[in-house]
Structure 1
Amino acid sequence: MSDEVTYATLSFQDSSGVRNNQDGNNLRKRVLQMSNEMSSDSEKLSQLQTAIHHQQENLSQQPSFHRDLPMEENLLRSQISSLLKRQGQMALRLCRELVIHTSDHRCNPCPKRWQWYQESCYYFTVNEEKSWSGSREDCMKKNSTLVEMDSVEEKDFLRSQTLASSSFFWLGLSWRPSGENWLWEDGSVPSPSLFSDDELVQFNESRGCAYLQRGAVYVSRCSAEIAWICEKMAAVVKVEDLD
C-alpha cells in the first residue's frame, strides 16, 4: 500500500495554563492513555499494510492460485479505514484536552484569539462596533461569516461565552425582504426549535437583523453599531501536531 501511516510520540509538559498539580496529573493520565491507544492502533495499521503488501506480491507471482485475495484485501483495507477513523477521533479528543489547559498548543485548529467549539472557530469582537453589514464585511476579511447557530448546544456555547459581558453581538441572521423571510447567511431558514417563545414573537413582529445579548436573541435595525461574532470551519487536527 502506497500510503504510509506515521505516528508521533506524544508528550506533555507543564505550562502556566495548568491550574494546579491535580489538573496536571489528571491530564497526564488522559494523555498517556490516549497515547497508548493511538500507538497500539499505529502498530495494527502497520501490520495490516504489510499484510496487503504481501498479498499483492503473491497475487502478482501466482494469480491463478489466489482468487480469494482481492476479497481479503478489501477486508484489510476496510479495517485500515476504521483504524484511521478511530485515530482521527482520538487525536481530536486529545487535542481538546491539550487546548483546554494550554490554549496555544500547536494542535489547536483555530487561529489565535479564536475560540474552538466542535467543528468551528469563533471570533468575538468586543472592542469595536459596526453595523450589521460592516460586521459582515469584517468577517469576510477574516475568511469567515457572521455566526450561524445550528443547534441548541451551539447556542448554549455562545451564551456561555457572552454571559459575562453586557455587549450586543451581531448574528448572521437577517430579514430578507425579497423572500419575505428570516435567513442565515448561507441562505438557510432558522429552525424554530433554536428559539424561545419570546424570541419567536420578535421574529414574527419585527424586521431587521438579529443579535445576541446575554444568551438571548433580539432584533434591531441593521444600521445599529454593536460588536459581532465571526465563525469559520476549524482545521483538521493532525496527529503529528500533538507532540
Structure 2
Amino acid sequence: MTEEIVYANLKFQDTDKKENIQKSERCGGRVYTTLETEMIKSSQLQNIKEELQRNVSLQLMHDLNSSKKIGNLSAMLQKIATQLCRELYKKEPEHQCKPCPKGSKWFKDSCYSKLDGFGTWQKSGMLCSARNASLLKIKNRSELEFVKSEGLHGYWLGLLPRKNYVRSEILNENMFLSVGFERSTYDLHKMYCGYLEGIYVYYTYCTLEKSIICEETASKVQVESVLNDLPQESV
C-alpha cells in the first residue's frame, strides 16, 4: 500500500514537471513570436520614415527650384518695367512710374532734387540728410557727363572742406572719393567749400550761402505703375 502511494506521488510530480516545461515552452514561443512581430513592425516603421524623408527632400528641392524660377522671373519683370518706365519718363517727366520725388530728375539709379532757397554748405548738407539724401557727389564717368549736361551753376558739392584756398578745378569724379562731409568737425568759418559752376569747381567760404541740390538713391520702379499705363485690349 505504501509503495503504491509513493509511486503515485512520483508519477504526479513527473506529470507536474512535464506540464511546467510545456507551459514554459509555450510561453517562450509566444515571447519569440512577439519579438519577431515587433521587429517586423520596427522595420516597417523605419522604411516609412526613410520614404517620408526622401519625399520631404524631393519636395524641398522642387520648392527651391520653383523659388529660383520665380525669383528670376520677378527680376526679369522688374528690369522690363524699369526700361519701359524710362521710356515713359522721357515723354512725361512726372509719369506715375517715376521712382523719384516730384520735381526731381532721374538718372541711372539716382534722383537729383533742387531745393528752394539757399544755405551754407553745412546747412545744405543737413537739409539733404533730412531727405535721406546727400549733397551732389559724382561716383563715375556717366554721372559726371550727366551733371555737366545739366549746366548747374552755384550749387554746393559734397566735397570735403579745404583749409587752403583753391580758385578752381575742372570737375572730375576723382574729387569725390572721400565721404562723411555732412558730419565734418572742422571749424567751417575758416574752411573753403566747393561749389559747381558748369564744368568747373570753385571754392569759397563754407559759411556763405549757395543753391542746394540733393542726390538720393532711386526707389524700385513699381511694376503696377507701368502695367496700368499700357493700352488695354478691347474685349
State the alpha-carbon separation in 1 of the partners of residues 219 and 110 from structure 2.
8
State the alpha-carbon separation in 1 of the partners of residues 154 and 162 from structure 2.
21
Structure 2 residue matching 1:68: 3-state secondary structure: helix
Structure 1 residue matching 2:73: 3-state secondary structure: helix
- The question of 1:224 aligning with 2:208 is answered yes
- 8 A contact 1:145–1:172 mirrored in 2: yes
The residue that corresponds to 1:173 in the other structure is 159
- The question of 1:184 aligning with 2:179 is answered yes
TM-score relative to the length of structure 1? 0.56
The alpha carbon displacement at 1:223 in A equals: 1.9
State the alpha-carbon separation in 2 of the partners of residues 73 and 137 from structure 1.
47
The residue that corresponds to 2:11 in the other structure is none
The alpha carbon displacement at 1:217 in A equals: 2.5
Structure 2 residue matching 1:134: 3-state secondary structure: helix
- 8 A contact 1:132–1:222 mirrored in 2: yes
- 8 A contact 2:161–2:206 mirrored in 1: no
Structure 1 residue matching 2:102: 3-state secondary structure: coil
State the alpha-carbon separation in 2 of the partners of residues 124 and 215 from structure 1.
18
The alpha carbon displacement at 1:150 in A equals: 1.2
Alignment of 1:185-204 (within 5 A): 185=180
TM-score relative to the length of structure 2? 0.58
State the alpha-carbon separation in 2 of the partners of residues 145 and 88 from structure 1.
26
The residue that corresponds to 1:75 in the other structure is 65
The residue that corresponds to 2:121 in the other structure is 132
- 8 A contact 2:119–2:210 mirrored in 1: yes
The alpha carbon displacement at 1:238 in A equals: 0.9
Change (3 A) 1:148 1:175: same
Amino acid corresponding to residue 224 of structure 1 in structure 2: L
Structure 1 alignment gaps of length 5 or more: 1-61, 188-206
- Which of 217, 224, 230 is equivalent to 1:233? 217
State the alpha-carbon separation in 2 of the partners of residues 169 and 186 from structure 1.
15
State the alpha-carbon separation in 2 of the partners of residues 85 and 186 from structure 1.
35
- 8 A contact 1:146–1:185 mirrored in 2: no
Structure 2 residue matching 1:175: 3-state secondary structure: coil
- 8 A contact 1:148–1:184 mirrored in 2: no
- 8 A contact 1:148–1:185 mirrored in 2: no
Alignment of 1:124-163 (within 5 A): 124-125=114-115, 128-161=117-150, 163=151
Which structure shows the higher helix fraction? 2
The alpha carbon displacement at 1:71 in A equals: 2.2
Amino acid corresponding to residue 170 of structure 1 in structure 2: W
The alpha carbon displacement at 1:233 in A equals: 1.8
The alpha carbon displacement at 1:114 in A equals: 0.7
Percent identical among aligned pairs is: 30
Amino acid corresponding to residue 100 of structure 1 in structure 2: K
- 8 A contact 1:173–1:185 mirrored in 2: no
State the alpha-carbon separation in 1 of the partners of residues 162 and 180 from structure 2.
10
Structure 1 residue matching 2:161: 3-state secondary structure: strand
Aligned residues: 156
Comparing 224-233 and 94-103, the one that deviates more:
224-233
State the alpha-carbon separation in 2 of the partners of residues 170 and 153 from structure 1.
20
Structure 2 alignment gaps of length 5 or more: 1-50, 164-175, 183-190, 229-235
The alpha carbon displacement at 1:220 in A equals: 2.4
Amino acid corresponding to residue 78 of structure 1 in structure 2: K
Amino acid corresponding to residue 192 of structure 2 in structure 1: G
State the alpha-carbon separation in 1 of the partners of residues 181 and 107 from structure 2.
20
- Which of 187, 193, 217 is equivalent to 1:209? 193
State the structure with more CA Rg: 2
The alpha carbon displacement at 1:88 in A equals: 0.9
The residue that corresponds to 2:96 in the other structure is 106
